[in-house]
């Protein structure tokens, strides 16, 4: 593994349990104390590893916290553009429908909401975290969603004038806004909410 | 003025400049230091008034900060449901179009974005602020928007199956999500963005 690879965190992990322990420690500390209150040193200590072990895997605190935030998605599916090869939008739409229950359960966790508040709350004071999260995790996901929605437009499921980028923001933004309201939904309420938003977006069928 | 009225902040203000000074001080301190770092005492000191003068107007720190956050909207129009009396949706839609430039200028201010990050960032650690903001300021505005969009459905501008509450969340949520990204838009970019989202929502005409 070259030094450059290590810096980018692309090296093959020696022991995946070490990665998991570091990500879990980072997620816990960040959720509880925010960006300013979380240090690589404290993360390493909680994970039971040395600082160098952390730095060998992630180039910066921002990249590590971004990866920890991403890891909080747990079992929510995260398909790449390749996974859409040969799929019709009807099939893609069924994948979306099938993923909604696990998404609702995960996103409705109080810890997930607390983490989300820390992420967006730190976007001005610590812009590097949102930049790393956007670049490393959100952007690849958006490319997949964009491809899926282009297919919906091509197949006439969505109208030709659809502004796909706006529609992605509207869908993600609605869920973000709902989660950060003062009356957070439980998993069942959030599942109903996700269905309502995806239907209103035209991304899943009305019935 | 009864004690109950004073507690709810409904008393007639003795001097509107005092209110303005308090709101401005609250907004500055909250934007810079967040909820935890802002005290009524510090707000009163910065505004050059006594603590009692503050408490006579706002029943709690949450209500005061919520009012300060609301005041940051500046000249963005804030019509009530009565203002829609006798208006067709075409007329309402024109009001929305006309309000977009001032909305874009206000929301694209770096200070507005920093404040927004503090508001949403504190929704878990200090839930009373979001609750007060929602109850006192967002909910009345949503009632107006809901009435406007009901009219759009009645007049066939939006399809009958429109989920109005979801559509409101999608529109507000998209703007929130766009503002809290790592690459904040300037006023011109945000104006284009607002137009794109409102068009995609079907709330303003495509051209």
Residue B3 has pLDDT above 50, yes or no: no
Task: Label residue B58 exposed, middle or buried (CB < 10 Å: 0-12, 13-18, 19+).
Answer: buried
- Chain A CA closest to residue B158: A200
Short-list A6, A65, A70, CA closest to A39 = A65
pLDDT in the model for residue B14: 72
| Interface contact B122-A117, CB threshold 8 A | yes
Q: Do residue B126 and residue B142 come from a single domain?
A: yes
Range of the domain at B31: 3-70
pLDDT band at B7 (very low <50, low <70, confident <90, very high): very low
Residue B197 has pLDDT above 90, yes or no: yes
Shortest distance, CA B45 to any CA of chain A (angstroms): 25
Residue B1 has pLDDT above 60, yes or no: no
Domain endpoint, select from B38, B70, B102: B70
Q: Do residue B98 and residue B159 come from a single domain?
A: yes
**Token pair for residue B32?**
């810079």
Has residue B162 been placed in a domain?
A: yes
In chain B, residues with a C-beta closer than 8 Å to the C-beta of A169 are 173-174, 177-178, 197
Domain endpoint, select from B21, B48, B70: B70
Look up the CATH number of the domain holding residue B123: 1.10.357.10
- Chain A CA closest to residue B205: A161
As a whole number, mean pLDDT of residues B19-36 equals 97
- How many domains would you assign to chain B? 2
| Interface contact A196-B166, CB threshold 8 A | yes
Domain endpoint, select from A20, A42, A70: A70
In chain B, residues with a C-beta closer than 8 Å to the C-beta of A173 are 169-170, 172-178
Q: Do residue B121 and residue B65 come from a single domain?
A: no
Q: Which residues of chain A have pLDDT under 50?
A: 1-9
- Compute the distance between CA of residue A36 and CA of residue A125 in angstroms, rounded to an integer: 9
Q: Do residue A50 and residue A86 come from a single domain?
A: no
pLDDT in the model for residue B72: 97
As a whole number, mean pLDDT of residues B144-157 equals 98
Residue B13 has pLDDT above 90, yes or no: no
Neighbouring CB atoms inside 10 A of A45's CB total 14
pLDDT band at B15 (very low <50, low <70, confident <90, very high): confident
| B110, B134, B167 member nearest A200 (Cβ) | B167
**Token pair for residue A162?**
């659809």
As a whole number, mean pLDDT of residues B166-192 equals 97
Short-list B23, B174, B185, CA closest to B106 = B185
Q: Do residue A142 and residue A91 come from a single domain?
A: yes
pLDDT in the model for residue B156: 98
* Alpha-carbon distances of B91 from B10, B41, B88, B200, rounded to whole Å: 33, 46, 5, 19
Q: Do residue A106 and residue A190 come from a single domain?
A: yes
Has residue A207 been placed in a domain?
A: no
Give the DSSP H/E element, type plus range, for residue B113: helix B110-121
pLDDT in the model for residue B149: 98
- Compute the distance between CA of residue B88 and CA of residue B72 in angstroms, rounded to an integer: 30
Q: ipTM for the complex?
A: 0.92
Look up the CATH number of the domain holding residue B28: 1.10.10.60
Cα-based angle A194, A200, A206 (whole degrees, multiple of 5):
85
pLDDT in the model for residue A4: 42
Query: What beta strand segments (E) does chain B contain?
Result: none
Has residue A20 been placed in a domain?
A: yes
Shortest distance, CA A135 to any CA of chain B (angstroms): 10
| B124, B170, B180 member nearest A200 (Cβ) | B170
């Amino acid at each position: 593994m070259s030094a450059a690879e290590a810096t980018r965190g692309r090296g093959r992990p020696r022991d995946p349990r070490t990665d998991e322990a570091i990500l879990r420690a980072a997620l816990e500390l960040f959720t509880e104390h925010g960006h300013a209150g979380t240090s690589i040193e404290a993360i390493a200590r909680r994970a039971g590893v040395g600082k160098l072990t952390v730095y060998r895997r992630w180039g910066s605190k921002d990249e590590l916290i971004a990866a920890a935030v991403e890891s909080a998605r747990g079992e929510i599916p995260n398909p790449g553009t390749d996974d859409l090869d040969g799929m019709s939008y009807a099939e893609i739409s069924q994948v979306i429908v099938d993923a909604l229950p696990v998404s609702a359960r995960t996103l409705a966790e109080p810890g997930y909401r607390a983490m989300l508040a820390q992420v967006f709350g730190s976007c001005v004071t610590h812009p590097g975290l949102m930049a790393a999260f956007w670049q490393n995790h959100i952007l690849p996901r958006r490319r997949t969603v964009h491809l899926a929605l282009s297919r919906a437009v091509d197949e006439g499921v969505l109208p030709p004038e659809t502004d796909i980028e706006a529609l992605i923001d509207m869908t993600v933004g609605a869920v973000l806004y709902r989660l950060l309201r003062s009356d957070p939904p439980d998993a069942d309420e959030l599942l109903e909410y996700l269905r309502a938003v995806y239907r209103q977006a035209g991304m899943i069928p009305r019935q």
